[in-house]
Structure 1
Amino acid sequence: MIDPYEILGVAREADGAAIKTAYRKRAKSAHPDTGGDVELFSRLTTSYELLNDPLRRKVYDDTGYDAELADSKDLHGLVILETLVNEMILDERDPGSFDPVAAMRRKLTDKVVNARFHILEMERHRARIRNHLDRMGRKPGNDVLGRMLRARCGTISDAITKAETEIANIEQAYGMLDGYTYEIEAVAEIKDAAE
């Protein structure tokens, strides 16, 4: 994730005038027409647009993310975490009586395990179809069955690729939880142990 404040060289409390001044100063040297770096100029412009838009700036300040500045992997991870955060908010248990971060990690781990199992099942089905294809004599001319079976193999391969992408997104979300801890109240620990 690119930090727009760092890119523009302004403090988080900077007002619109300070942001505009910083952008103009840095954009002069980075502009491609004056021999500057195209990538840097693009990041400067995107950072300026983000900080100049009060709503986008608030979202960035609150979450640390902006769709235009974030790596697409981070965005997919955020979507997954958003669901888990909603579940945490809706959980009726008292804060401190359970560890929501550990619960999120468990749910993400379960999702990965389920997705991997699903991939194994799909690979088994695809292998069975290929085995049928290898054993089936081809009808001269219009090989309807062969085309249908090959199409099914293709569909299964696409589903496997989609599941592998989902695993990567879940792992990205899991990595975004690194470094978080949660303090459980001692009374809750004793109560949980007694139950």
Structure 2
Amino acid sequence: MIDPYEIVGVERSADTATVKSAYRRRAKSLHPDGGGDVERFDRLKTAYELLLDPIRRKVYDDTGYDPALADAVDRKGLLVLETLVNEVLLDEREPGSFDPVAAMRRKLSDEIVSARFHILEMERHRSRVRNHMDRIGRRNGADVLGSMLRSRCDSIGDAITKAEGQIEAIEKAYSMLEGYSYVIESELRNAAE
């Protein structure tokens, strides 16, 4: 997650006047009209807007998250995690009777294994298609079969890239669960005794 305080160059306790002053200083050097980088200026502007909005700032301070400042991998990881949180909320078992954090970790691990297996299968299939391509003789004129097989290889390559991106999002979601634990009811009773 991108830290808006670091981007604007202020402490967490900075008041609105301090934020505005720091923003103006940074904006002068980062503004595209003055030779600055458009992407860095946009990030500065987004961070500034967050720090001026008391509700967004409070949410960021409490959670360390703001959708506008999340990078693509963080957003994808959060979407994966949100699905799992929804599953936990819909689980009919009593809170404290099971460990939802461990269940989420297991589910994410299973999804990673499944996606990696799927990638291996696609790579095996692409290898078979390439092997066929190497063995098919071309006829004169339009190479219809060659075009079809190359297209198939390209499609498989795209699917592999997409699956690798999904693994990256799942791994990010898994890392977001680091440091969390859950106390089960029986553990509370044992601690009380």
TM-score by length of 1: 0.81
- Give 1:101-180 correspondences, 5 Å limit: 101-180=101-180
Shift of 1:28: 4.0
**Paired AA for residue 10 in structure 2:** L
Tell me the TM-score normalized by structure 2.
0.82
Number of residue pairs matched?
183
Q: C-alpha offsets along residues 167-193 of structure 1, whole Å, 9 cap, x if unaligned?
A: 111111101111111111217999xxx
CA distance in 1, matches of 2:187, 2:43: 50
Q: Is 1:24 paired with 2:20?
A: yes
How far the C-alpha of 1:32 sits from its partner, in A, is 1.1
Task: Give me the identity figure in percent.
Answer: 62
- Structure-1 residue corresponding to 2:10: 8
Q: 1:130 to 1:42 in 2, by over 3 A?
A: closer
> C-alpha distance in 1, partners of 2:187/2:23?
57
Cα offsets for 1:110-141 (capped at 9, x unmatched): 11111011111111111111111111111111
TM-fit CA distance, 1:3: 3.2
The residue that corresponds to 1:78 in the other structure is: 78
What 5-or-longer segments of structure 1 have no aligned partner? 191-195
| 2:52 match | 52
The amino acid across from 1:9 in the alignment is E
Q: 1:27 to 1:140 in 2, by over 3 A?
A: same
SS at match of 1:158: helix
Conservation of the 8 A alpha-carbon contact between 2:80 and 2:173: yes
Cα distance change of structure 1 residues 29 and 62 upon mapping to structure 2, 3 Å threshold: closer
Question: Does the aligned pair in 2 maintain the 1:77–1:173 contact within 8 Å?
Answer: yes
Q: Following the alignment from structure 2 to structure 1, what is the Cα–Cα distance between the partners of residues 30 and 151?
A: 51
Q: Please, which runs of 5 or more residues in structure 2 have no aligned partner?
A: none
| Secondary structure of 1:139's aligned partner | coil
Greater mean alpha carbon deviation, residues 155-164 or residues 40-49: 40-49
Contact preservation (8 Å) 1:50, 1:56? yes
* CA distance 1:189–1:106, shift in 2 (3 Å): farther
* CA contact 1:101–1:181 (8 Å) conserved in 2: yes
**1:80–1:173: 8 Å Cα contact kept in structure 2?**
yes
Task: Give the letter for the 2:104 counterpart.
Answer: M
- Compared CA separation, residues 8 and 187, structure 1 to 2 (3 A): closer
